[in-house]
Structure 1
Amino acid sequence: MIRLADELFEATRTLVPVAPLRDRVLDLTLDDAYMIQSRQLERHLAGGRILAGRKVGLTSPAMQRQLGVDSPDFGYFFADMVHRDDDAVPAGDFISPKVEPEFGFVLQETLQGPGVTLEQARAAIGAVYPAIEIIDSRIADWDIKLLDTVADNASCGAIAVGTTALPVSVEDLTSVTCSLLIDGEVRETGTGDAVMGDPVAPLAWLANVLGEQGVALEAGQLILPGSFTRALPVVAGESATAHFGDLGSLTIRFI
C-alpha cells in the first residue's frame, strides 16, 4: 500500500497519471484505499502543507451515476489549493480538470464523532459560502471506481470559495437551487436536496467516519459537502460559475 500511496503522491507532483489501482491489487479493500489516502496526507503535512479542510464526494445521484458508485467518499485539501472569486486558475496545474458547484461550510464549532447528529452538524456551521470543487484524477483517463478515487484523495484537485457568505439559513439549504455555468451558459442545475437529501447530512457523516479514527473536524475549517450536479470538464480559456440565484455566485477563470 505504501508503494501505491507514493505513486499517487508523485503523480500529484508530476501530473503523470498512474494505472487504475483496482486492476493492480485485486483484493484491494475500502480500508486499504483510505490507508493509501492517509499516507499521502501524512507526506504532504510533513512537507509543510497546511490542511484547510475536507471534502465529501459522490453525495448526489448525478455524481454516483457518473462514476458508477453507490456511496460517498471523502478527501482533504490544503491552503495552497484554495482559490477565490474571479481568480485565474492555471488549467496546466491539473491533468484533466472538471468542476462541480457546491456549498462551502465554515465551521464555528469543532465536530468530534462518532455520534454527531444532524442538529449538531447544523449548529456547527458558522457560515455558508458559494464554492466550486475542481476535481482531477491521478488515475489515467478518469478510469476510476470507488477504490481508485478514494485512494486518490477523492479526486480532489483544488477548490474555489466565495468571499461573501450566502444569506441563507442552514435549515433552508435543501431548497436552494444552484446552476453550473460554463462561459456564462447554464449547463447543469440542481437543488440542495440532491446532496444526500440534505447538504448537512454529509457533514455529519464525515464527522462520524473521521471520529471513528480519532480525527475531529476543527472549528475554522472549510467543508465541502458534495456537488449539486454532475461534474463538467473545463479547459484553458473557459470560466465556471456556481450561481445560487439571488443568493449570490462564484466565478473562476481557467487560463
Structure 2
Amino acid sequence: MQNENQLAEAAAERQAALKGFANELLTAAETLEPVAPLRGRLEGMDVDDAYVVQTLQLEKHLADGRVLAGRKVGLTSLAMQRQLGVDSPDFGFFFEDMVHNEGARLAAGAFVSPKVEPEFGFVLKEALQGPGVTVEQARAAIGEVYAAIEIIDSRIADWDIKLVDTVADNASCGAIAVGTTPLPVSVEDLTTVACTLRINGEARESGTGEAVMGDPVAPLAWLANVLGEQGVALEAGQLVLPGSFTKALPVVAGESATADFGDLGSLTINFI
C-alpha cells in the first residue's frame, strides 16, 4: 500500500510539474519573456511528457474560445533535423487568429525571435482518421495545395531547444501565412516541385518537395496516424502544413519573406 501511495504521489507531482510548464509557456507567449529550457528540469522528461504540456495549452486556448484552424508538422526535412539536432518529426497546432495571407504585415515585435520556413499548405477535402492511414489515402484527402510560410518562434530562451522543448512549446509555432489561390499542381507531383525562400527578394535557400520526408504527403499520413492513436481526427477543411523545404531563416522588422514556387506562384509576407 505504501508503494502504491508513493507511486500515486510521484505521478501527481509529475503531472503538476507538466501543468506548471504549460502555464509558463502560456505566460511566455503573452509577455514574450522566454523561459529556460524544459529538458533537465523534470527527471526523465520524454516526448510523451512534452505532448502533455502541449495539449494542456491547446485545451486552455480552446476553452478561451480560440478556433482550431489546423496542424503543422515540423522537423520533416534533413536540413531542419540537422539544424535542431533531432532525428524525428513533431507536430503542433494553430488557430484561425494565427493565419495570415498574401501581403500580410506582421509585427516582428509580436514574436520572441521569429524565423520563416517555406512550405506547402494542404487543405483537406475529407477527414483523415488514423491509425492505419496510408500515404495514398492521405494524398486522396488533399483538396487544394497552397503556397505557405510558417513563422516559427520559440518561447524557450535563445532557441536552446531539443525535441522535448520544441514539442512542449507547440512545435515552435508562431504564425502561419497561406496563399489565397491554389498552386496549379497535381498532388502526385509534389516531390518534384521546387521552392526558393527569399528574404527581401534575395534567394537564400531552396529545396524540392522531396526534402520533406521524401514525399510531402508522408508527414500528413504520419500526423493522421499519431493523432489517431489519441482518438483525434484531421477534419475536412482543416489546413495542414507538412514541413519546410529548407532550414529556417531569422527575420526582423523591415524584411519581407517569400516562398517562391516559380511558375506555380509565390507568397510574400512583410515584417514591420
> Normalization by structure 1: what TM-score?
0.99
Once the 2 structures are TM-superposed, how far is the Cα of residue 26 of structure 1 from its aligned partner? 3.1
Alignment deviations for residues 2-22 of structure 1 (CA, whole Å, 9 cap, x no partner): 111111111111111000000
SS of 2:205 mapped into structure 1 = strand
Aligned equivalent of 2:65, options 31, 34, 48: 48
- Distance in 2 (alpha carbons) for counterparts of 1:161 and 1:187: 20
For residue 175 of structure 2, what is the aligned residue in structure 1? 158
1:219 aligned onto 2:219: no
Question: Aligned with 1:22: secondary structure?
Answer: coil
C-alpha separation in 2, matches of 1:212 and 1:154: 19
Structure 2 residue aligned with 1:205: 222
Counterpart of 1:65? 82
Gaps of 5+ in 2: 1-17
**CA–CA separation in structure 1 for the residues paired with 2:69 and 2:29:** 18
1:201-241: CA deviations, max 9, x gaps? 00000000000000000000000000000000000000000
Q: Which residue of 1 aligns with 2:48?
A: 31
Aligned-residue offset at 1:146: 0.3
User: Structure 1: which 5+ residue stretches go unaligned?
Assistant: none
For residues 97-112 of structure 1, the aligned pairs below 5 Å read: 97-112=114-129
2:202 pairs with 1:191: no
* Residue matched to 2:154: 137
1:82 matched to which residue of 2? 99
Distance 2:165 2:94 in 1: 18
Q: Equivalent residue of 1:21, what SS?
A: coil
Distance in 2 (alpha carbons) for counterparts of 1:118 and 1:96:
34
Paired residues in the alignment total: 255
**Offset at residue 23 of structure 1 (A):** 2.5
The one-letter code of the counterpart of 1:245 is G
Among 233, 238, 253, the alignment partner of 2:250 is 233
Q: Which residue of 2 aligns with 1:245?
A: 262
> What is the rounded CA distance, in whole Å, between the counterparts of 2:145 and 2:116 in structure 1?
19
Following the alignment from structure 1 to structure 2, what is the Cα–Cα distance between the partners of residues 213 and 223? 18
Report the counterpart of residue 121 of structure 1 in structure 2: 138
- In the alignment, residue 107 of structure 1 is paired with which amino acid? L
Cα deviation digits, residues 42-76 of structure 1 (max 9, x gap): 00000111000000000000000000000000000
Q: Could you say what secondary structure the match of 1:158 adopts?
A: strand
Q: Provide the TM-score with structure 2 as the length reference.
A: 0.93
Whole-Å separation in 2 of the counterparts to 1:25 and 1:144 = 15
Larger Rg: 2
- What stretches of structure 1 move > 6 A for 4+ residues in a row? none
Q: Provide the C-alpha distance between the structure 2 equivalents of 1:161 and 1:75, rounded to a whole number of angstroms.
A: 17
